[in-house]
Structure 1
Amino acid sequence: MPDLHDCPADIRQRAARVRLACFDVDGTLTDGRLYFDSEGRELKTFHVHDGLGMVMLRKVGIAVAFVTARASAIAEQRAAELDVQAHTRITDKFACVSGIARELGIGLDEVAFMGDDLPDLRVLPHVGFSAAPANAHPWVRDRVHWRSAAPGGEGAVREFCDLLLAAQGHAERMLSEAMPTGVQA
């Protein structure tokens, strides 16, 4: 669990307001590499920790969405497994994220977006909390509010989810609920 005392006050405040968390897929939820089998089918790997982080966000009432420029049946399948929204083949991520926020009746100041490269730059300055994995392209990495220690596809999303949960006062409760009665860490 992130130590909120290590986070600047503005990061804690931004994280505390989030009601919608949106994530790019390639390079954020995955390591950014594209794999194709001999028949041209795309393969991706997702980190299980990232998935659980997004499920925990949903459990506390934070909506979650994948927003990706690529057409990806695999991303749609992973989103369905996690019961989160999947928006694929998105040419204007800002319009997509704005539309999701509007449907939920929330302002962009209550939206978080985590991305790693050029297609994410249009949305990042408009959301309340922008983030990037440690290995994001410098053009993105230098323009976000927060960066993870982990690279994309290797727990970066989970770090971000844990930060949101901690800032909103849910992390300790979730940890204690996961521990067997009478056991202390």
Structure 2
Amino acid sequence: MQDLIKKAGQVKLLVLDVDGILSNGQIIYDTNGVETKAFSVQDGVGIKSLARYGILTAIITGRNSQMVDKRATEIGINYVVQGRDDKLVALTELLASLDQQLNISAADCAYMGDDLPDIKVMQTVGFAATVPNAHSEVINRSDMVTTRAGGYGAVREVCDLILKGHGHYQDFIGQFTLDDR
């Protein structure tokens, strides 16, 4: 666990897939063809916690969805890249577009994905995480497998680990408690 915390302490940018990570992976259409996704409130708190300590967040997803834009805005995701099948190219372009003062390389990134299109990115970043119901090839290439499934607090687990790695976890928790446990 200490090795994971140390690795997480190097993260400057957390990059997330959507379907299967921020959501449970189901795509539901109503009778009018309107797509619906469900997102975890706990994940949102985790993402906001990273922002509090200057850790950036991004979404890279193969699909396009207005709901993703809405959720990203609500929880303060810094960068949203949608409709990109080649997620490694998308990450490379995102990193190239960032302000040079941020000095973020792929090695400074964590990535959470759950399926085959995520593997190349996961092999490129400094910290790779996935969920327990991910494809076995993704699990085999991950530094961390969360205990919770996508859409049910898995991202929060990774956010908490990143906070621990940066030494901010107790400070963050302290704002919600009356004691120092």
> Which TM-score band applies after superposition, normalised by the shorter structure?
over 0.9
Residue 57 of structure 1 contacts residue 161 of structure 1 at CA under 8 Å; is this kept in 2? yes
Kindly indicate whether residue 141 of structure 2 is the aligned counterpart of residue 147 of structure 1.
no
Post-superposition offset of 1:12: 2.1
Q: Which letter does structure 2 place at the counterpart of 1:95?
A: V
Kindly indicate whether residue 68 of structure 2 is the aligned counterpart of residue 75 of structure 1.
yes
- Within the candidate set 27, 37, 52, 1:34 is matched to 27
Greater than 3 Å deviation, 4+ residue runs: none
Q: Distance in 2 between matches of 1:15 and 1:95?
A: 23
State percent identity of aligned pairs.
36
Q: Distance in 2 between matches of 1:91 and 1:136?
A: 18
SS of equivalent to 1:131: strand
Post-superposition offset of 1:95: 1.7
Unmatched runs of 5 consecutive residues or more in structure 1: 1-6
Q: Distance in 1 between matches of 2:46 and 2:62?
A: 23
CA 1:37–1:57: 2 relative to 1, 3 Å:
same
Post-superposition offset of 1:177: 2.1
Q: Which letter does structure 2 place at the counterpart of 1:50?
A: D
Kindly indicate whether residue 96 of structure 2 is the aligned counterpart of residue 98 of structure 1.
no
Residue 162 of structure 1 contacts residue 171 of structure 1 at CA under 8 Å; is this kept in 2? yes
Q: Look up the match of 2:36.
A: 43
Aligned pairs, number: 176
Residue 27 of structure 2 contacts residue 37 of structure 2 at CA under 8 Å; is this kept in 1? yes
Matching of residues 14-29 of structure 1 within 5 Å: 14-29=7-22
Q: Look up the match of 2:116.
A: 118
What TM-score, normalized to structure 1? 0.91
SS of equivalent to 2:148: coil
Q: Distance in 2 between matches of 1:114 and 1:88?
A: 15
Q: Look up the match of 1:171.
A: 169
Q: Distance in 1 between matches of 2:72 and 2:83?
A: 14
Q: Distance in 1 between matches of 2:132 and 2:121?
A: 19
Post-superposition offset of 1:184: 5.0
SS of equivalent to 1:17: coil
What TM-score, normalized to structure 2? 0.92
What is the RMSD computed on CA atoms of the aligned residues? 1.3
Residue 25 of structure 2 contacts residue 150 of structure 2 at CA under 8 Å; is this kept in 1? yes
Kindly indicate whether residue 153 of structure 2 is the aligned counterpart of residue 159 of structure 1.
no
Q: Distance in 2 between matches of 1:30 and 1:147?
A: 16
Q: Distance in 2 between matches of 1:132 and 1:184?
A: 31
